[in-house]
Amino acid sequence: MVAKLITRMCNSAALVGSVLVFHSWVWSQSGATHAVAVRAKGGGGGGWTALATFMVLVGLWSFVARWSSRKKVEA
Amino acid sequence: MDDSQANSTHGQIAFPSKQFLCRVCLTALFATAAHLLPWEGLRFFTSEVTLRLSGLLGMTTSRTAFDTIEIQGNLIQFVVCCTFVELFFGSLPLIWRGKESIVGNLLRVVIFAGAIFGLNIVRLVLLQIAYGHGVPWTLAHDIPVGFAYFAVWVFIWRTRDWPAWQYRSRTCHAVTPLAANES
């Protein structure tokens, strides 16, 4: 059950979100020049934080969708 | 109930459909192509709209370069990624509908472009407000980007007219095509 959920999450997030993943990667590469203020503080690489946030949200969304559809079947 | 869930509960394993994979490959190509261009006009326009809206909200603003603005004493440089142009171009293969006319699709793309631009501007203005009030950059900038990605992802997933999955039986490996709207 958990394995199916993880597989489904990874499939959908990795494939539909490929553009977003790519965007995050590009962003992380260009992060050093993204914001002058942040560069001065040694920041950058924000794309990975954005990607992690995105993946967590997709995971929660998939979990809730699956949970609610199972509830409907049980009802 | 989601067909993919129904099939997975009946002993079938979901795999990405060929159409899904083709669209994803196009997505990578489109996003790469978009990133290779400088988009100076769009960067200027995005920064200018952010500058003016921030000024309307009472923040002190000034322009230091075509792609760099100063808001509340913070210098912010707009690179290609800040315009979401890669997100827009990368999303095109996923939102294009094969059964709809070209005019209908183009209209849809124009509306989508406006929505992406609006979403980005709202994000940037909220970023200026939060960052100007001392919120850390990660919290003010990076995490909201994740939420913006998620909003686009949900839109794509909910409005697509192409099959995302095909199913294979655990026992005989037969491939079962999926109906267009399985979710």
Residue among A67, A10, A58, A22 at smallest CA distance from B36:
A22
pLDDT in tens, B54-93: 999 999 999 998 888 988 888 888 888 889 998 899 899 9
B82 secondary structure, DSSP code:
G
Interface of A with B (CB under 8 A): 4, 7-8, 11-13, 15-20, 22-24, 26-27, 30, 33-38, 43, 46-47, 49-54, 56-58, 61, 65-66, 69, 72-73
Interface probe for A, chosen from B96, B128, B153, B158 (most Cβ of A below 10 Å), is B153
CA–CA separation, B9 and B13 (whole Å) = 9
CB contact under 8 A, B147 and A72: no
Angstroms from B47 CA to nearest CA on chain A: 12
Residue among B158, B161, B179 at smallest CA distance from B97:
B161
pLDDT in tens, A13-42: 655 566 566 666 655 555 444 444 444 343
CB contact under 8 A, A35 and B76: yes
Per-residue pLDDT for chain B (183 aa), expressed as one digit of tens each?
A: 444 544 554 567 777 888 888 998 898 889 888 888 889 999 999 999 999 999 999 999 999 988 889 888 888 888 888 899 988 998 999 999 988 899 999 999 999 999 999 999 999 999 989 988 888 888 888 888 889 988 998 899 888 888 887 877 765 555 555 544 444
CB contact under 8 A, A19 and B80: no
Exposure string of A14-24, with b = 16+ CB inside 10 Å and e = fewer, is: ebbbbbbbbbb
CB contact under 8 A, B149 and A73: no
Q: How far is CA B39 from the centre of its chain?
A: 17
A74 vs A19, which has greater pLDDT?
A74
- Give B154's contacts in chain A (Cβ within 8 Å): 61
Residue among B125, B147, B117 at smallest CA distance from B39:
B117
A41 secondary structure, DSSP code:
T
State residue A9's pLDDT score: 61
Residues of B (74-133) whose Cβ lies below 8 Å from A: 74-77, 79-82, 86-87, 90-91, 94
CB contact under 8 A, A50 and B76: no
pTM of the model: 0.76
CB B95 within 8 A of CB B89: no
